Amino acid sequence: MKYFAKTFFYLVVLSLVLSSCTQDDDTRTQDDDTSTLGFEDVTWEEWPNTDCSTSTSPLRDILAYKLLGIPYHWSINPINMGTYEIYANLNVKELSSYPLDFRRKNQRNGTHGAYMNLLKGEADLIIASRDISRNEKDSAAALGVELLTTPLATDALVFIVNPKNPVNNLTTEQLQKIYTGEITNWKEVGGVDHAITPFIRDADSGSQEKMETMVMKGLTMLDESSTWVMKGSSMFSPYSCIAHDEYAIGYSPYFYCTSMVRDLIEVKMISIDGVKPNKKSLKENSYPFTSYIYAAVRKSEPHESMAYRLFQYLYTKEGAKIVNESGYIDIGE
């Protein structure tokens, strides 16, 4: 009962805050012309347990709201004020009759948490910021579970610095040396004479897994034991750090930076090996650290189940429209 009371209280407060939002918020809503291909009459009772990464939550939420026929919009998160996210257009009266366990069916436990929930049977469909990790493969083997994971949309790992930092480009080798501790001063890469503050993410996060596999490629990376290194457990951590530290550098998904943080915290995405991260370079795969987000289900998932049908739907032309509406780049583009 405490859970339901707390959830209902949060939904009511959230609705009141959102209902008072001004037109400065992004009020993009669903495309009414998008077909739901047999999902027109789906109800929340039929909806499967889903989970997702922080950065893939807008895509998962648009999918849910669109197919369940619930109007939605982008708005600033009223709790931390650091990101734009997707919210249902529901007033207090509508919320009072809205299923309280709907949010339990649509969790957001981060990349690693989502994969572990899928492996343990606590989620039936996930949308994650990366493919299954090395550690998660070990867990899958121990549990005797096999997953079906498929690239869904294009993203990238980008490097961000304070806008006052004069450095606009780094090579892959320079990044590697910064994060192994060989390069410690910005003057070594064309910047000012000041120590670099490298920002790292927590182990098993989507960003950290991509950093270790795509950028470091087996090199021993700095960890939090180094006195000059900053570490944060949330995706927003490097943004708040860099906003207050002119000499910091961090990494983040391109989508999270451009679609969720946007203009709320001013940072600068730098070029890597002379290539600037943008939709063109990501589509062309010319940016060095272009990556993908993934949808995943258990291989044992019955093909007639709602979870498996939604998994298939994401890879249709209509599913691609939802991917693109969220701000990601459909891999078929």
Is 187 within a domain?
Answer: yes
Is 39 within a domain?
Answer: no
- CATH no. for residue 160? 3.40.190.10
Say how many domains are in the chain: 1
Is 186 within a domain?
Answer: yes
Is 18 within a domain?
Answer: no
Full residue range of the structural domain in which residue 159 is found: 155-290
Three-class secondary structure of residue 115 per DSSP? helix
Measured CA to CA, the distance from residue 96 to residue 12 in angstroms comes to 8
Is 216 within a domain?
Answer: yes
Q: Would you write out the chain's pLDDT as a tens digit for each of its 333 residues?
A: 333 333 333 333 333 333 333 333 443 344 444 455 567 778 888 899 999 999 999 999 999 999 988 899 999 998 877 899 999 888 767 766 666 667 789 999 999 999 999 999 999 999 999 999 989 999 999 999 999 999 999 999 999 999 999 999 999 999 999 999 999 999 999 999 999 999 998 887 889 999 999 999 999 998 877 767 887 778 898 998 999 999 999 999 999 999 999 988 889 999 999 999 999 999 999 999 999 999 999 999 999 999 999 999 999 999 999 999 999 999 875
| C-beta separation of 196 from 229 below 8 A | no
| C-beta separation of 197 from 248 below 8 A | yes
Is 17 within a domain?
Answer: no
Strand partners, 330: 153
| C-beta separation of 36 from 66 below 8 A | yes
Two tokens, residue 61: 């939420």
Is 199 within a domain?
Answer: yes
Measured CA to CA, the distance from residue 41 to residue 45 in angstroms comes to 11
Helices 317-326 and 57-67 pack at an angle, to 10 degrees, of 130
Give the pTM.
0.84
H helix or E strand, kind and range, residue 65? helix 57-67
Is 65 within a domain?
Answer: no
